[in-house]
Amino acid sequence: MMRLPAWLGYEVREKLSRLSAGRWINDNRRIVTVAAFVPIVVMVVTAIVCFWPEKPRRLKPPTKEWFYDLNTGQLFTADRVLIPPINAPSGPLPTGEPAGVRACVLTYADSPNDSSRFIGFLEKVNPHPKKAGTDDRHSGARQWGHARLIRRVEDSEWVEADSPQGREILEEAFAPDPNGERPHYVRPN
Protein backbone atom coordinates (compact mmCIF):
# COMPACT_ATOMS: atom_id res chain seq x y z
CA MET A 1 0.00 0.00 0.00
CA MET A 2 1.20 3.41 -0.88
CA ARG A 3 1.63 6.11 1.75
CA LEU A 4 1.39 9.83 1.17
CA PRO A 5 4.55 11.74 1.74
CA ALA A 6 4.59 13.70 5.02
CA TRP A 7 4.70 17.06 3.32
CA LEU A 8 1.54 16.21 1.26
CA GLY A 9 -0.36 15.03 4.36
CA TYR A 10 0.56 18.26 6.07
CA GLU A 11 -0.68 20.31 3.09
CA VAL A 12 -4.01 18.41 2.96
CA ARG A 13 -4.59 18.84 6.69
CA GLU A 14 -3.80 22.55 6.41
CA LYS A 15 -6.24 23.01 3.51
CA LEU A 16 -8.98 21.07 5.33
CA SER A 17 -8.50 23.12 8.51
CA ARG A 18 -9.00 26.31 6.51
CA LEU A 19 -12.23 24.87 5.08
CA SER A 20 -13.55 23.58 8.39
CA ALA A 21 -16.75 25.03 9.85
CA GLY A 22 -15.20 25.48 13.27
CA ARG A 23 -12.61 27.92 12.09
CA TRP A 24 -15.16 29.77 9.91
CA ILE A 25 -17.53 30.03 12.88
CA ASN A 26 -14.71 31.38 15.06
CA ASP A 27 -13.81 33.93 12.41
CA ASN A 28 -17.47 35.03 11.81
CA ARG A 29 -19.11 34.97 15.24
CA ARG A 30 -21.50 37.88 14.57
CA ILE A 31 -22.94 36.30 11.45
CA VAL A 32 -23.39 33.00 13.25
CA THR A 33 -25.04 34.70 16.23
CA VAL A 34 -27.50 36.56 13.99
CA ALA A 35 -28.16 33.41 11.97
CA ALA A 36 -29.00 31.51 15.19
CA PHE A 37 -31.04 34.36 16.71
CA VAL A 38 -33.34 34.99 13.70
CA PRO A 39 -35.06 31.56 13.75
CA ILE A 40 -35.59 31.86 17.51
CA VAL A 41 -37.26 35.26 17.06
CA VAL A 42 -39.41 33.90 14.22
CA MET A 43 -40.52 30.95 16.37
CA VAL A 44 -41.39 33.21 19.33
CA VAL A 45 -43.38 35.60 17.13
CA THR A 46 -45.19 32.68 15.47
CA ALA A 47 -46.07 31.19 18.87
CA ILE A 48 -47.39 34.54 20.12
CA VAL A 49 -49.52 35.02 17.00
CA CYS A 50 -50.88 31.47 17.17
CA PHE A 51 -51.73 31.49 20.87
CA TRP A 52 -52.82 35.11 21.33
CA PRO A 53 -56.51 35.10 22.22
CA GLU A 54 -58.76 36.59 19.57
CA LYS A 55 -60.97 39.49 20.48
CA PRO A 56 -64.52 38.23 20.78
CA ARG A 57 -66.68 39.33 17.92
CA ARG A 58 -69.34 41.75 18.94
CA LEU A 59 -72.70 40.71 17.61
CA LYS A 60 -74.92 43.52 16.56
CA PRO A 61 -78.22 43.31 18.37
CA PRO A 62 -81.04 42.50 16.00
CA THR A 63 -83.12 45.43 14.83
CA LYS A 64 -85.83 43.34 13.15
CA GLU A 65 -88.11 40.66 14.51
CA TRP A 66 -90.38 38.07 12.90
CA PHE A 67 -94.09 38.83 12.88
CA TYR A 68 -97.03 36.80 11.60
CA ASP A 69 -99.99 38.19 9.68
CA LEU A 70 -103.09 36.52 11.16
CA ASN A 71 -105.11 37.39 8.02
CA THR A 72 -102.77 35.81 5.46
CA GLY A 73 -100.73 33.35 7.51
CA GLN A 74 -97.50 34.89 6.19
CA LEU A 75 -94.35 35.93 8.04
CA PHE A 76 -93.07 39.50 7.78
CA THR A 77 -90.44 41.52 9.58
CA ALA A 78 -90.81 44.73 11.56
CA ASP A 79 -88.84 46.72 14.11
CA ARG A 80 -87.95 44.71 17.16
CA VAL A 81 -89.15 47.36 19.58
CA LEU A 82 -92.78 47.12 18.43
CA ILE A 83 -95.17 45.52 20.89
CA PRO A 84 -97.65 43.09 19.32
CA PRO A 85 -100.28 43.21 18.07
CA ILE A 86 -99.03 45.54 15.35
CA ASN A 87 -100.35 46.62 11.97
CA ALA A 88 -99.93 43.84 9.42
CA PRO A 89 -99.43 44.22 5.66
CA SER A 90 -102.95 42.86 5.06
CA GLY A 91 -104.64 45.36 7.37
CA PRO A 92 -106.61 44.79 10.57
CA LEU A 93 -108.56 41.72 11.63
CA PRO A 94 -112.34 41.73 11.10
CA THR A 95 -112.62 42.77 14.77
CA GLY A 96 -110.57 45.89 14.04
CA GLU A 97 -107.56 44.71 16.07
CA PRO A 98 -104.14 44.80 14.34
CA ALA A 99 -103.36 41.47 12.66
CA GLY A 100 -99.57 41.36 13.26
CA VAL A 101 -98.31 39.23 16.13
CA ARG A 102 -94.76 38.23 17.00
CA ALA A 103 -93.66 34.83 15.68
CA CYS A 104 -91.00 32.68 17.28
CA VAL A 105 -89.29 31.20 14.20
CA LEU A 106 -87.12 28.19 15.02
CA THR A 107 -84.97 25.63 13.24
CA TYR A 108 -82.91 22.55 14.01
CA ALA A 109 -80.54 23.22 11.08
CA ASP A 110 -77.15 24.90 11.45
CA SER A 111 -77.62 26.83 8.20
CA PRO A 112 -81.36 27.34 8.05
CA ASN A 113 -83.24 27.95 4.84
CA ASP A 114 -86.93 28.63 4.31
CA SER A 115 -87.84 24.94 4.28
CA SER A 116 -86.08 24.13 7.58
CA ARG A 117 -87.72 26.95 9.54
CA PHE A 118 -90.91 26.54 11.53
CA ILE A 119 -93.02 28.76 13.76
CA GLY A 120 -92.81 27.51 17.34
CA PHE A 121 -95.55 29.79 18.63
CA LEU A 122 -97.16 33.19 18.18
CA GLU A 123 -97.08 35.90 20.83
CA LYS A 124 -98.88 39.10 21.72
CA VAL A 125 -99.30 41.29 24.78
CA ASN A 126 -102.03 40.35 27.22
CA PRO A 127 -104.37 43.37 27.41
CA HIS A 128 -105.64 42.20 30.84
CA PRO A 129 -102.68 40.66 32.69
CA LYS A 130 -102.91 39.24 36.19
CA LYS A 131 -101.41 41.43 38.88
CA ALA A 132 -97.75 40.69 39.29
CA GLY A 133 -96.78 39.38 42.68
CA THR A 134 -93.94 40.81 44.69
CA ASP A 135 -92.14 37.48 44.63
CA ASP A 136 -88.80 38.05 42.86
CA ARG A 137 -87.88 34.37 42.93
CA HIS A 138 -89.45 33.72 39.51
CA SER A 139 -87.09 32.69 36.76
CA GLY A 140 -86.54 34.76 33.64
CA ALA A 141 -88.95 32.54 31.69
CA ARG A 142 -91.75 33.15 34.19
CA GLN A 143 -91.06 36.89 34.19
CA TRP A 144 -91.07 36.85 30.38
CA GLY A 145 -94.41 35.06 30.23
CA HIS A 146 -96.20 37.23 32.77
CA ALA A 147 -98.05 39.66 30.49
CA ARG A 148 -97.94 37.66 27.26
CA LEU A 149 -100.42 35.52 25.43
CA ILE A 150 -99.19 32.73 23.16
CA ARG A 151 -100.67 30.11 20.86
CA ARG A 152 -99.69 27.63 18.19
CA VAL A 153 -100.28 28.71 14.58
CA GLU A 154 -103.10 26.19 14.19
CA ASP A 155 -104.80 27.13 17.50
CA SER A 156 -107.61 29.68 17.68
CA GLU A 157 -107.41 30.48 21.41
CA TRP A 158 -104.66 32.54 23.07
CA VAL A 159 -103.38 31.35 26.47
CA GLU A 160 -101.23 33.06 29.08
CA ALA A 161 -97.60 32.14 28.52
CA ASP A 162 -97.03 31.39 32.20
CA SER A 163 -100.10 29.13 32.47
CA PRO A 164 -99.87 25.32 32.29
CA GLN A 165 -101.23 25.45 28.71
CA GLY A 166 -98.65 28.11 27.80
CA ARG A 167 -95.81 26.07 29.27
CA GLU A 168 -97.04 23.07 27.27
CA ILE A 169 -96.87 25.12 24.05
CA LEU A 170 -93.34 26.30 24.92
CA GLU A 171 -92.16 22.77 25.78
CA GLU A 172 -93.58 21.51 22.49
CA ALA A 173 -91.92 24.31 20.50
CA PHE A 174 -88.49 23.68 22.06
CA ALA A 175 -88.70 19.87 22.14
CA PRO A 176 -85.55 18.08 20.93
CA ASP A 177 -85.53 16.37 17.55
CA PRO A 178 -84.81 12.61 17.19
CA ASN A 179 -81.08 13.39 17.43
CA GLY A 180 -81.56 15.12 20.80
CA GLU A 181 -80.88 18.61 19.35
CA ARG A 182 -83.00 21.52 20.55
CA PRO A 183 -84.19 24.11 18.05
CA HIS A 184 -82.73 27.61 18.03
CA TYR A 185 -84.16 30.97 17.05
CA VAL A 186 -83.74 32.16 13.46
CA ARG A 187 -82.99 35.85 13.17
CA PRO A 188 -84.53 37.64 10.21
CA ASN A 189 -82.09 38.93 7.59
The answer to whether residues 175 and 143 belong to one domain is: yes
The answer to whether residues 10 and 79 belong to one domain is: no
The answer to whether residues 168 and 125 belong to one domain is: yes
Cα distances from 27 to residues 46, 51, 120, in angstroms, run 32, 39, 79
Cβ 183 vs Cβ 120: under 8 Å:
yes
Residue-level pLDDT at 72 = 95
**Mean of the pLDDT values across residues 177-182?**
91
The answer to whether residues 112 and 181 belong to one domain is: yes
The answer to whether residues 99 and 35 belong to one domain is: no
Domain membership of residue 37 (yes or no) is: yes
The answer to whether residues 68 and 47 belong to one domain is: no
**pLDDT band at residue 189 under the 50/70/90 scheme:** confident
Structural domain total, the chain: 2
**Ramachandran class of 180: left when φ > 0, alpha when ψ lies in -120 to 50, beta otherwise:** left
Q: Please name the residues in contact with 12: beta carbons below 8 A apart, sequence gap of 6 or more.
A: 4
**What is the number of other CB atoms lying within 10 angstroms of the CB of residue 69?**
20
The answer to whether residues 142 and 165 belong to one domain is: yes
Structural domain span for residue 79: 64-130+137-185
The answer to whether residues 85 and 173 belong to one domain is: yes
Rounded Cα distance between 70 and 97, Å, is 11
Residue-level pLDDT at 137 = 55
Rounded Cα distance between 39 and 74, Å, is 63
Rounded Cα distance between 158 and 148, Å, is 9
Rounded Cα distance between 167 and 161, Å, is 6
Straight-line distance from the first to the last Cα atom of the chain, in angstroms, rounded to the nearest whole number: 91
The answer to whether residues 70 and 38 belong to one domain is: no
Cβ 23 vs Cβ 32: under 8 Å:
no
Domain membership of residue 43 (yes or no) is: yes
Q: What is the pLDDT of residues 115-169, one digit of tens each?
A: 889 999 999 998 877 665 545 555 555 566 678 999 999 999 999 988 899 999 9
Residue-level pLDDT at 27 = 74
The answer to whether residues 28 and 92 belong to one domain is: no
What's the maximum distance between 2 C-alpha atoms anywhere in the chain? 122
Closest CA to 85 of 158, 145, 154, 143: 158
